[in-house]
Chain A
């Protein structure tokens, strides 16, 4: 299957700092990527849909100024958690549609964010 790379896998930061997470499709072009948040032992919650060349679409309740998304190219989307606080600590996962089949989403390995 298609490969989606997510970096970093783990980040620990102080409260008030900003953290950038990258999501790359390595062997295909992804016009659409998705960002999810997952709390321990819970499901994947869609945060936003990232579209190449346009503004991201945020789900209800997700602060767009808090979670900045930039989809600058067909292979890269970034999520920046601005002024992170302890309650932002979570597992963040991105996904992208493969080129061969529009409906199949391939996931990145996730980023464990811990805000002290």
Chain B
């Protein structure tokens, strides 16, 4: 099955700085890579996703890049704000196409 690794596990940045979270995956059949934001005790919320036919996608302060050859994808948050503080999970859909395999999560803290 798919194996998704995520780094770093914790990340602290000053407000206004950028944050980068990186994930790698093992199954070359994966073609969909979502990123979820989860606040404490709440449901994961989809913040951005990318499909394997593109290399980059941007939505305001959030961007995701994908390198299919190297099997890694990254989340970039610019101009971070305190409300960006949360746990972020990457995921890949593996060869079944339906199931999601999640990374171990990154706890992001934005310091005011």
| A interface residues (Cβ-Cβ under 8 A, vs B) | 1, 32, 34, 41-46, 49, 91, 93, 95, 97, 102-110, 112
Contacts and interface: CB of A to CB of B under 8 A. Distances in A.
Contacts of B99: 34, 46, 49
User: B interface, how many residues as a size bin?
Assistant: 20 to 34
Question: 4 closest Cβ contacts across the A-B interface?
Answer: A107-B43, A103-B32, A44-B102, A43-B104
Interface in B9-43: 32, 34, 36, 41-43
Interface of B: 32, 34, 36, 41-46, 49, 51, 89, 93, 97-105, 107
Contacts of A105: 34, 46, 100
A91 B40 CA distance: 11
Contact of A43 (B32, B34, B102): B102
B80 to A, nearest CB: 21
Nearest to B100: A105
A42 B89 CA distance: 10
A43 B103 contact: yes
Given A103-B32, A104-B34, A104-B49, A46 B100 contact: yes
12 contacts: A42-B104, A43-B102, A43-B103, A43-B105, A44-B44, A44-B89, A49-B98, A93-B44, A102-B98, A106-B46, A107-B43, A109-B43
